[in-house]
């Protein structure tokens, strides 16, 4: 089934006015928040953000999801850009399984080991849907705000060219250090890896 825009509404947010798009022809209730004059840009900035109820809504410090969401919305409000919000909680394992994974992390396992112990892959998200949504808006090339190379591959393997990758900031705190280190060392988040390395150098300077 062809992916097409279903609804477009205007939503005032705490960061500014956004156009919100929903889609038909996709599996899941995923949406795009579009800020500024994004449609005039040949390759608009894009953030693919996977839903994190604990971080996005309740401010959990176990991860960096909430701060990354805030960063993207602030940046795009100041210039322009699109936030693709995917309902793929816990890297695709769902909220309840994510809480079970937290228990395993508290027992000493990293975030990827915890997923595997629950019978899941390291990352079960599907980024094809993000590419389908972008193409429905007439977008076939972007500047991607992400530290995760899997998102680049997910777009490019599905017909959306990533002209540049823009690294997100490192939103570190004492409660998410192990989580961030696992993403850098095991998940291949290269921008994050560089930022953590620079922070470590500064701490020892």
Could you list the active site residues?
123, 125
Helices (H) and strands (E) in the chain, counts: 8, 7
> Which runs of consecutive H residues, i.e. helices, occur in 34-176?
65-78, 89-92, 95-106, 111-117, 128-136, 149-156
Q: Is the sign of the CA dihedral 52, 55, 61, 65 positive or negative? A: positive
The Cβ of residue 4 has, within 10 Å, a number of other Cβ atoms equal to 11
The Cβ of residue 120 has, within 10 Å, a number of other Cβ atoms equal to 18
Angle at 111 between CA 129 and CA 98, to 5 degrees: 65
Task: Using alpha carbons, list the distances in angstroms from residue 48 to 2, 4, 62, 197.
Answer: 21, 18, 20, 24
């Amino acid at each position: 089934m062809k992916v097409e825009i279903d609804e477009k509404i205007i939503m005032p947010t705490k960061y500014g006015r956004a156009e919100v798009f929903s889609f038909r022809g996709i599996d899941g209730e995923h949406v795009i928040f579009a800020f500024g004059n994004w449609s005039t840009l040949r390759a608009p900035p894009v953030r693919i953000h996977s839903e994190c109820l604990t971080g996005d809504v309740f401010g959990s410090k176990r991860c960096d999801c909430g701060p990354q969401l805030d960063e993207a919305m602030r940046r795009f409000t100041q210039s322009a850009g699109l936030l693709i919000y995917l309902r793929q909680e816990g890297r695709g394992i769902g909220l309840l399984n994510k809480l079970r994974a937290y228990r395993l992390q508290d027992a000493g396992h990293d975030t990827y080991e915890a997923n595997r112990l629950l019978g899941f892959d390291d990352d079960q998200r599907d980024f094809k849907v993000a590419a389908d949504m972008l193409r429905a808006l007439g977008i076939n090339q972007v500047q991607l705000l992400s530290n995760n190379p899997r998102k680049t591959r997910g777009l490019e393997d599905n017909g959306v060219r990533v002209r540049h990758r823009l690294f997100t900031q490192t939103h570190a705190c004492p409660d998410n250090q192990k989580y961030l280190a696992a993403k850098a060392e095991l998940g291949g988040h290269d921008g994050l890896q560089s930022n953590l390395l620079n922070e470590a150098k500064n701490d020892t300077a």
